[in-house]
Amino acid sequence: MTIADEKVDFGSMRPAETAVVVGGGVAGMQAALDIADQGYQVVLVEKTPSIGGVMAMLDKTFPTLDCSACILTPRLSQVSRHPNIKLLTYSEIKGISGEAGNFRVQVLKKARRVLEDKCSGCGDCVPHCPVQVRNEFDQNLGYRKAIYIGFPQNTPLVYTIDKDNCIKCELCVKSCQRDAIDLSMEDEQLEIPAGAIVIATGYELFDVSQYHRLGYGRFKNVINALEYERIINAAGPTGGKLMRLSDGKIPKSIGFIQCVGARDVQKGVPYCSRVCCMYGIKNAVMSKELQHDIVKNVTVYYADIRAYGKGFEEFYTMAKERFGIKFIRGRVGEVSEDSKTKNVKIWAENTETGEFLKQEHELLVLCPGILPPKGLKELADYVGLEVSVDGFIPIQYPASNPVDTAVPGVYVAGCAESAKDIPDSVAAGSAAAMRASITLAQGGEQ
Ligand SMILES: Cc1cc2nc3c(=O)[nH]c(=O)nc-3n(C[C@H](O)[C@H](O)[C@H](O)COP(=O)(O)OP(=O)(O)OC[C@H]3O[C@@H](n4cnc5c(N)ncnc54)[C@H](O)[C@@H]3O)c2cc1C
């Protein structure tokens, strides 16, 4: 039994000893672990059925190409087994009142229709479910049943019934040896007393179909970078086989377009998303790593390469020199499709040479910028904060207190503040945990 299975009386928790962390990505998990390790109670509220965030979807991480799941999985297990952390997954914040040292956090715990204290995660119910729908965790490229876990390391390892697609045939109920399925389960309203709050709600991706000219949503072989991550992931919808979507062929030529929905004032995203250059280069390298005998041409179309972090410039150089990735500076003008081959044709200007280029690729990957997640403004409103012009959570004094918001007792970690890579998100998680723990130790004073 994991801690997530415990029946917890949240109302009896003491605000002076409790922090609420909102968002269970890598930043929120780190904040929760560091607060809990200092002896305080943590309630980690995550809106999806599992913690893990975007890192759980990634294949490898730049610049070391370490396996993302290998780093994340022990963390997931540490969080779920920590005696001071209570997980509230599939849950949403509905209101926050009070002040540092004494907040009241209203949470809606959505009905999973599967009992957390009975489900063992065996999955025996799954083959009996007749309903198949697209799996959001696989960026809708694969399928799941109406009773599902998003991915094998789902934490907590408890199934969820998606009520919008469940046809109430009850075949899962009959198949469950542990009587863990209850189709009549209702949502629950909870109130959590907390002395400090950490906002770690991460980000969402820019919708690349907004650039009609780039062909996403119109041409099958134009995909976004997170879809690419799922395609090359061994636990993803193709079992890790690099392929294009029109015919399942391994593409011999792949193009990556950077800054799609970043540094574009007209689209309302004037800022740099910081991680796209590196994840674009990583994925270009991965395509060679996976299929170097077939993938002959990999080209990255970029505005500037911002390889600012430790080891990043070296990784960029390695991509060029060891893997032979071509880098062309220039925004792509128009993308079209060859109706027979389904190859993608690109018109671009090389802004270094002034040359006008016409290129053809078998697969085109658009690298989207990073946006504040939906619901962040409402969450900010609940605690009395205004989001910044870019829509993220603002920091009052970035140079001296980089995780403190303007509201005492409310801290921010990871991409909820601005686009960050994983190490920076984890560092911010630890910093926010320290600041929240000080607030708890001082009874709300800072
Ligand atoms: C294609 C791609 C590849 C990448 N590759 C790398 C890489 O190789 N190396 C690297 O360092 N970085 C990489 N990144 C960046 C990396 O994804 C982020 O640094 C990291 O995920 C940030 O963690 P986070 O916890 O801040 O946010 P997230 O991972 O977004 O987690 C936030 C969590 O909060 C939850 N949430 C959101 N709103 C609410 C709410 N209102 N209530 C409750 N829960 C909520 C979400 O469901 C989610 O679980 C990549 C990004 C992309 C798009």
Kindly state whether residue 79 falls inside one of the protein's structural domains.
Answer: yes
Question: Which residue's alpha carbon is nearest to atom 49 within ligand 1?
Answer: 53
Angle in degrees, CA 137, 138, 139, rounded to 5: 90
Q: How far away, in angstroms, is 54 Cα from ligand 1 center?
A: 4
Compute the Cα dihedral for 118, 123, 128, 129 and give only its sign: positive
6-20, 63-77, 351-365, 424-438: range with lowest mean pLDDT: 6-20
Whether 2 has a pLDDT exceeding 70, the answer reads: no
| 431 shares its domain with 324 | no
Whether 1 has a pLDDT exceeding 50, the answer reads: no
**417, 422, 424: which to mutate for ligand 1, most atoms within 8 A of CB?**
422
Q: Which residues of 189-198 are buried (b: 16+ CB within 10 A; e: fewer)?
A: ebebbbbbbb
Q: What percent of the chain has pLDDT over 90?
A: 95
Residue among 14, 21, 26 nearest 425 (CA):
26
| 433 shares its domain with 397 | yes
Within a 10 A sphere around the Cβ of 389, how many other Cβ atoms?
Answer: 10
pLDDT at residue 5, rounded to an integer? 43
pLDDT at residue 444, rounded to an integer? 74
CATH at 224: 3.50.50.60
Question: Which residue's alpha carbon is nearest to atom 48 within ligand 1?
Answer: 53
Among residues 320, 339, 369, the one where a domain terminates is 369
| 225 shares its domain with 337 | yes
Kindly state whether residue 354 falls inside one of the protein's structural domains.
Answer: yes
**Confidence band of 6 (pLDDT split at 50, 70, 90):** low
Q: Provide the Cα torsion 69, 71, 73, 74; round to 10°.
A: 160
| 376 shares its domain with 288 | no
What interhelical angle do 422-441 and 26-37 show, nearest 10? 40
Contacts of 114 (CB under 8 A, 6+ apart): 147, 158, 159, 160, 161, 180, 181, 182
Compute the Cα dihedral for 354, 359, 363, 364 and give only its sign: positive
As a whole number, mean pLDDT of residues 317-324 equals 98
**30, 58, 258: which to mutate for ligand 1, most atoms within 8 A of CB?**
58
Question: Which residue's alpha carbon is nearest to atom 15 within ligand 1?
Answer: 421
Task: Share the mean pLDDT of the chain.
Answer: 96
Kindly state whether residue 41 falls inside one of the protein's structural domains.
Answer: yes
| 234 shares its domain with 345 | yes
Q: How far away, in angstroms, is 402 Cα from ligand 1 center?
A: 19
State the pTM of this model: 0.97
Kindly state whether residue 132 falls inside one of the protein's structural domains.
Answer: no
Question: Which residue's alpha carbon is nearest to atom 45 within ligand 1?
Answer: 23
Query: Is 261 strand, coil or helix?
Result: coil
**Confidence band of 15 (pLDDT split at 50, 70, 90):** confident
Kindly state whether residue 286 falls inside one of the protein's structural domains.
Answer: yes
Q: pLDDT tens across 48-92, in order?
A: 999 999 999 999 999 999 999 999 999 999 999 999 999 999 999
Kindly state whether residue 157 falls inside one of the protein's structural domains.
Answer: no
| 347 shares its domain with 229 | yes
pLDDT at residue 3, rounded to an integer? 43
Q: How far away, in angstroms, is 430 Cα from ligand 1 center?
A: 16
Among residues 318, 351, 369, the one where a domain terminates is 369
User: Alpha-carbon distance 216 to 246, whole Å?
Assistant: 13
Q: pLDDT tens across 367-403, in order?
A: 999 999 999 999 999 999 999 999 999 999 999 999 9
pLDDT at residue 446, rounded to an integer? 63
Question: Which residue's alpha carbon is nearest to atom 38 within ligand 1?
Answer: 201
| 357 shares its domain with 387 | no
Q: Kindly write down the DSSP assignment for every residue of 48-112, as one continuous string.
A: SSSS-GGGGG-SEETTTTEEHHHHHHHHHHHHHH-TTEEEE-SEEEEEEEEETTEEEEEEEE---
pLDDT at residue 10, rounded to an integer? 84
Kindly state whether residue 164 falls inside one of the protein's structural domains.
Answer: no
What interhelical angle do 312-321 and 276-291 show, nearest 10? 40
Whether 417 has a pLDDT exceeding 70, the answer reads: yes
Number of compact structural domains in the chain: 2
* Distances from the Cα of 187 to the Cα of 22, 88, 107, 225, angstroms: 19, 13, 10, 35
**26, 54, 110: which to mutate for ligand 1, most atoms within 8 A of CB?**
54
Q: Are 112 and 49 in contact (CB under 8 A)?
A: yes
Which atom number of ligand 1 is nearest to the Cα of residue 228? 1
| 313 shares its domain with 400 | no
| 216 shares its domain with 234 | yes
Among residues 342, 369, 396, the one where a domain terminates is 369
* Site residues for ligand 1, CB cut-off 6 Å: 22-28, 45-48, 53-55, 58, 61-62, 92-93, 200-203, 205, 225-226, 229, 275, 279, 282, 373, 375, 379, 414-415, 420-422, 425
What's at 413, amino acid-wise?
A: A
As a whole number, mean pLDDT of residues 217-230 equals 98
| 394 shares its domain with 357 | no
What's at 338, amino acid-wise?
A: D
Kindly state whether residue 395 falls inside one of the protein's structural domains.
Answer: yes
**Confidence band of 12 (pLDDT split at 50, 70, 90):** confident
Q: How far away, in angstroms, is 355 Cα from ligand 1 center?
A: 38
* Distances from the Cα of 54 to the Cα of 115, 164, 183, 195, 201, angstroms: 26, 24, 30, 28, 11
As a whole number, mean pLDDT of residues 15-39 equals 97
Residue among 296, 291, 166, 172 nearest 238 (CA):
291
| 364 shares its domain with 396 | no
Q: pLDDT tens across 105-164, in order?
A: 999 999 999 999 999 999 999 999 999 999 999 999 999 999 999 999 999 999 999 999
DSSP element (H, E) containing 400: none
**Confidence band of 8 (pLDDT split at 50, 70, 90):** confident
Q: pLDDT tens across 284-319, in order?
A: 999 999 998 999 999 999 999 999 999 999 999 999
Q: Which residues on neighbouring strands pair with residue 145, listed in sequence order?
A: 132
DSSP letter (8 states) at residue 251: P
- Tell me which residue range forms the domain holding 325: 207-369
| 70 shares its domain with 90 | yes
Question: Which residue's alpha carbon is nearest to atom 9 within ligand 1?
Answer: 61
